[in-house]
């Protein structure tokens, strides 16, 4: 049995060990103890402040995936709201300019990168990492969708636009073709160093060194052009999960590695649309009951599990171990959504809950 729960101060050491496997490009999970400790503290403060304070400033929540049988922390996931309010949030927007000469009969449409802060004030989902030894069995989906159920629980407090910065393409040595073709000319440092500084010190230095003028894509090396809007092979599954939820690529990319940024409106996210509030009922779900994500509705004690669930009227029937993992009393309201996109399961769940 695995459960998503808020990070605790006592998790810092195990987080330091866990993130050694993230590789480069995961700036939201820096391999630096002090930076991780600050992220944990920020999450604790955000939980304590409550959802009504989300609009005040940049705030962040970090959750861990715990194996309840062993106590091991094997994954992380998180939310960052009010992005860009305390320090600028930069991205490149891939646009076009037209160069034309009727005299010469030339008409060229040229892709161009524009530095922008268009996502300021939005919510970012990120910090998703699952230990390699625990991949499969739906745990990646649990990590990804659990934070979407949190959005559904408190959607009135979150900005409507939600984004996800996808890790861009790097090679086995941690080199980024996009960085080598663009960023290094202005920062005079390897990608690993820029990645580390972003994760540990923020992005203020970008404004000081990055050119403000548009970048003409054809002037970049071919290797850099080819990875614009692409994602790292290890990130393709995460991208597919988000796209299945309704996230999409609108031409925004990370300024360091060129990775795609996906976006969605809360009201258009599948887990938000299809999830339902039910009363938790410990018992024995019927054979063949669909696998569902089941999450508590409590802000300060959010927990989420993956388990078979049977709907009986407005009750969510799960076995005693699942109810114990959620750590809320019988009869308390929980939120559930089926994992299987099969239309029969979705229709059956939705009809039962609307009765």
CATH number at residue 147: 3.40.630.30
For residue 211, give Cα distances in angstroms to 184, 185, 261, 344.
12, 10, 21, 53
**Quick one: 22 and 73 in the same domain?**
yes
> Of residues 232, 248, 345, 347, which has the active-site annotation?
232
Distance CA 164, CA 262 (A): 5
Res 352: pLDDT: 46
**Quick one: 163 and 135 in the same domain?**
yes
More confident position, 23 or 306: 306
Q: Catalytic residue at 232? A: yes
Bridge partners of residue 164, in order along the sequence: 262
For residue 102, tell me if it sits in a domain. Answer: no
**Quick one: 280 and 263 in the same domain?**
no
- Assess whether pLDDT exceeds 90 at residue 148: yes
Looking at 246, 268, 290, the residue that finishes a domain is 268
pLDDT one-digit tens code per residue, 293-337: 999 999 989 999 999 999 999 999 999 999 999 999 999 999 999
For residue 106, tell me if it sits in a domain. Answer: no
Q: Which residue has the tokens 């891939």?
A: 94
For residue 99, tell me if it sits in a domain. Answer: no
Alpha-carbon 84 to chain mean position: 16
Looking at 210, 244, 268, the residue that finishes a domain is 268
For residue 108, tell me if it sits in a domain. Answer: no
Res 18: pLDDT: 85
Number of domains in the chain: 2
**Quick one: 167 and 229 in the same domain?**
yes
Assess contact for 305 and 1: CB atoms under 8 A.
yes
Q: Which of 115-129, 134-148, 238-252, 267-281 has the lowest mean pLDDT?
A: 134-148
For residue 111, tell me if it sits in a domain. Answer: no
**Quick one: 264 and 284 in the same domain?**
no
Q: How confident is the model at residue 88 (pLDDT cuts 50, 70, 90)?
A: confident
Q: What value does the mean pLDDT take over residues 190-197?
A: 76
Looking at 268, 293, 312, the residue that finishes a domain is 268
Domain of 340 in residue numbering reads as 275-354
**Quick one: 82 and 189 in the same domain?**
yes
For the domain that residue 336 is a member of, what is the CATH number? Answer: 2.40.40.20
Res 189: pLDDT: 80
**Quick one: 126 and 227 in the same domain?**
yes
Q: How confident is the model at residue 204 (pLDDT cuts 50, 70, 90)?
A: low
Element housing 148 (H / E): helix 139-153
- Assess whether pLDDT exceeds 50 at residue 122: yes
Assess contact for 123 and 155: CB atoms under 8 A.
no
End-to-end Cα distance, the chain: 31
**Quick one: 257 and 310 in the same domain?**
no
**Quick one: 284 and 264 in the same domain?**
no
Res 355: pLDDT: 41
**Quick one: 201 and 312 in the same domain?**
no
For residue 46, tell me if it sits in a domain. Answer: yes
**Quick one: 24 and 161 in the same domain?**
yes
**Quick one: 151 and 15 in the same domain?**
yes
Q: Which of 1-5, 104-108, 248-252 has the lowest mean pLDDT?
A: 104-108
């Amino acid at each position: 049995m695995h459960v998503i729960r808020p990070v605790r101060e006592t998790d810092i050491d195990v987080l330091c060990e866990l993130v050694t496997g993230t590789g480069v490009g995961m700036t939201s999970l820096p391999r630096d103890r002090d930076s991780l400790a600050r992220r944990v503290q920020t999450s604790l403060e955000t939980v304590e402040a409550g959802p009504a304070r989300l609009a005040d400033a940049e705030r962040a929540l970090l959750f861990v995936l715990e194996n309840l049988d062993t106590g091991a922390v094997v994954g992380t996931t998180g939310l960052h709201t009010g992005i860009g309010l305390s320090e600028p949030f930069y991205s490149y927007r891939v646009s076009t300019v037209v160069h034309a000469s009727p005299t010469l009969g030339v008409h060229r449409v040229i892709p161009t990168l524009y530095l922008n802060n268009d996502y300021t004030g939005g919510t970012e989902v990120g910090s998703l990492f699952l230990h390699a030894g625990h991949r499969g069995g739906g745990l990646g989906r649990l990590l990804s969708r659990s934070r979407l159920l949190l959005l559904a629980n408190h959607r009135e407090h979150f900005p409507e636009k939600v984004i996800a910065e996808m890790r861009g393409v790097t090679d086995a040595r941690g080199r980024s073709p996009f960085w080598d073709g663009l960023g290094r000319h202005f920062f005079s440092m390897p990608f690993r160093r820029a990645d580390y500084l972003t994760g540990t010190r923020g992005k203020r230095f970008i404004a000081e060194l990055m050119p403000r003028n548009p970048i003409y894509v054809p002037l970049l090396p071919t290797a850099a052009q080819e990875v614009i809007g692409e994602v790292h092979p290890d990130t393709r599954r995460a991208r597919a999960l988000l796209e299945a939820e309704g996230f999409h690529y609108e031409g925004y990319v990370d300024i360091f590695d060129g990775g795609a940024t996906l976006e969605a409106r809360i009201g258009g996210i599948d887990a938000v649309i299809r999830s339902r509030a039910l009363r938790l009922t410990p018992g024995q779900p019927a054979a063949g009951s669909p696998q569902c994500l089941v999450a508590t509705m409590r802000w300060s004690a959010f927990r989420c599990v993956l388990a078979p669930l049977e709907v009986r009227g407005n009750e969510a029937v799960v076995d005693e171990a699942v109810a114990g993992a959620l750590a809320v009393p019988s009869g308390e309201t929980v939120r559930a959504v089926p994992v299987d996109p099969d239309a029969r399961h979705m229709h059956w769940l939705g009809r039962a809950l609307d009765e």
